[in-house]
Copies of this chain bind each other. A is one copy, B any other.
Amino acid sequence: MISEVEKIFSEFLEKKDLKLTSQRRTILHQAVKARGHFSAEELLGFSKGADRTISKATVYRTLALLKDSGTLEEHDFGGGKKLYEKAQGRRHHDHFVCIRCGKIIEFENDQIENLQDLEAKKQRFKVVYHSLKLFGFCSSCK
Task: Give chain A's interface residue range (CB within 8 Å of chain B).
Answer: 20 to 34
B125→A134 contact, CB < 8 A: yes
A129→B119 contact, CB < 8 A: no
Query: What are the interface flags for A87-102 relative to B under an 8 Å C-beta threshold, 1 for contact and 0 otherwise?
Result: 0000000001011000
> Which residues in B have their C-beta under 8 angstroms from that of A78?
76
Contacts A120-B136, A130-B132 given; indicate if A125 touches B112 (C-beta within 8 A). no
Report A's interface with B, CB cutoff 8 A: 76, 78, 96, 98-99, 105, 107, 109, 111-112, 115-116, 119-120, 123-139, 142
A115 to B115, CA, bound (A): 10
- Tallying the copies of this chain within the complex gives 2
B130→A135 contact, CB < 8 A: yes
A115→B116 contact, CB < 8 A: no
- Specify which of B127, B130, B136, B142 is in contact with A129 (CB 8 Å cutoff): B136
- Specify which of B119, B126, B136 is in contact with A142 (CB 8 Å cutoff): B126
Residue contacts A-B, CB under 8 angstroms, 16 given: A76-B76, A96-B123, A105-B123, A105-B125, A109-B115, A112-B115, A112-B116, A116-B132, A120-B134, A123-B138, A127-B136, A128-B135, A130-B132, A130-B133, A130-B134, A132-B133
